[in-house]
Structure 1
């Protein structure tokens, strides 16, 4: 039995889709590495818990930066680990793997992903652009000559693309996404409260009270970190309206990118987009107020796909079936 696997190789997390079973694995793309002995200590969730908490010889690293491989050997081992975990030990035949890449990657970066996947034990590798995979996963029929504007906000990259007839017509890829939201919160806490916090705490703030649009009621949260003046631990209470200030610049750049793509869209497809709206996917799409912000600035109805974090993985897995279903004359 040959197995078809779809992998969403993200900067923040890796999702594995197996044909007939759906998304069976979702783990952070973090690897804990022992510098002294050159061995990998942990991969995935176990390694994420070590971020910022390791002794000198153990480093928890993210082998992908902005959707691109920054550490080839570690990425290869990580893909291998997730493929084996998804397939179980009993499989004899090498799987066919379709894997997604951001729409703006260079030929060299594509090659690196392809080679790492072959090295991890794939029999055949297909690369898919992230917005196309996201559109298939969101249940949009992309084979029709009808335009759809898709915004995929991941951990390291944001892809904005107009898709029609199974391909990308106009696209833009921004090296700015979920991780940059976290960094913006870290910077704001330093500047405004003299408090130094880690990436994980910033992510907690983003998930619990983060917003990009003024809310009716302010939500508050206690944040623990290190006081930059005294160097001692300190607790600060922050509100959701403060996160809106912290994220304003970053989300503004994403909206600018959407406007830029809309300006370059052929008029016929612009009419389709006005009718069908903008679809948001990816983990970053779950940030509150993003729909309202984009809608206010563009005047186009904006909605988030169901299960935004899983759509790229689902679409990557279904891409092979989609391609085989295309008629040839």
Structure 2
């Protein structure tokens, strides 16, 4: 498939929850949920992104909505390739240029295996690109958060994505030490679903759980209780039911995942070479990814790890911006 690109340089953040495309000239040109609607009878892709997400839980039996990426890596190669082709089509329309094939930088979790990275590269190359490079997610996040990654100074990045959380210490253009844990927005949503099911005998969907997390989800800090009415299906009677949830109970439901995240940060900081430890006290920790926006996250981490904690200027888009910017010094990064 030819897309008539003209020396285009684009960065792709192929995320578990959202796929973002960054263009050097226009910034973020696409931000779509990583969801695909497929007709199981014909294997035809019916919708991707926001259209497909709006169909979740509302489709007839012959149409399924799938998330082809799980825990930051490709779980379904064929569907991911189809999704990428559609995304590249949309991106070419947005850029509105008569283009040749683009050079693409795509990010991969630092904990991904060589097989998983090869799958990501193959999926991108199947879209007919000129060159495809892979960059580690925390490094892309650091570049996108305007940190000085090429200097011999320690930068700590905590990228809380949909499927994984990456904690990395970056210095001199490379990752010094890193932890990747399978805790992220999806895990928090699942914790909320399980809590509502156990406490109220009600089943709620993923989209409702996400709304609860964003509106009344809190990191383990003191706060004034907020209430939220949600609807779900009663497990006993099978009928729709409305319940009122409190932010304190949602905070409790998220606590276990939060503590695992904190442990990953502590272990990474303990692995830091002594020479770089002083920098961390000065520079602090930078949060990126959607999880950085959870209520109270910044204040809670500041209290727990006793170093400054900053949120990137645009945490949701930091990785995508970093992938696009990284192409100008990708050779140097790959040597590192």
> Partners in 1 of 2:26 and 2:200 — Cα distance?
47
Aligned partner of residue 191 in structure 2, secondary structure: helix
Query: Runs of 5+ in structure 2 lacking a partner?
Result: 1-5
Q: TM-score scaled by structure 2? A: 0.94
Verify the 8 A CA contact 1:215 1:241 in the aligned structure 2.
no
Aligned partner of residue 303 in structure 2, secondary structure: helix
State how 1:1-329 maps to structure 2 within 5 Å: 1-88=6-93, 91-323=98-330
Verify the 8 A CA contact 1:156 1:177 in the aligned structure 2.
yes
The structural deviation recorded for 1:236 is 0.7
Verify the 8 A CA contact 1:170 1:264 in the aligned structure 2.
yes
Is the deviation greater in 215-224 or in 243-252? 215-224
The structural deviation recorded for 1:47 is 0.2
The structural deviation recorded for 1:229 is 2.3
The structural deviation recorded for 1:214 is 3.3
Aligned partner of residue 315 in structure 2, secondary structure: coil
The structural deviation recorded for 1:179 is 0.3
> Partners in 1 of 2:285 and 2:241 — Cα distance?
42
> Partners in 1 of 2:88 and 2:275 — Cα distance?
42
> Partners in 2 of 1:120 and 1:91 — Cα distance?
17
Aligned partner of residue 7 in structure 2, secondary structure: coil
Is the deviation greater in 98-107 or in 71-80? 71-80
Query: Runs of 5+ in structure 1 lacking a partner?
Result: none
Q: TM-score scaled by structure 1? A: 0.96
The structural deviation recorded for 1:91 is 3.4
For residues 166-213 of structure 1, what are the alpha-carbon distances to aligned partners after superposition, in whole Å with 9 as ceiling and x for unaligned? 100000111110000100000111111221111110001011111113
Verify the 8 A CA contact 1:137 1:315 in the aligned structure 2.
yes
> Partners in 2 of 1:232 and 1:87 — Cα distance?
46
Is the deviation greater in 221-230 or in 61-70? 221-230
> Partners in 2 of 1:322 and 1:251 — Cα distance?
35
Query: Alpha carbons of 1:291 and 1:92: their partners in 2 closer, same or farther (altered >3 Å)?
Result: closer
Is the deviation greater in 231-240 or in 129-138? 231-240
> Partners in 2 of 1:303 and 1:192 — Cα distance?
35
Aligned partner of residue 36 in structure 1, secondary structure: coil
The structural deviation recorded for 1:322 is 3.4
> Partners in 1 of 2:21 and 2:99 — Cα distance?
19
Aligned residues: 327
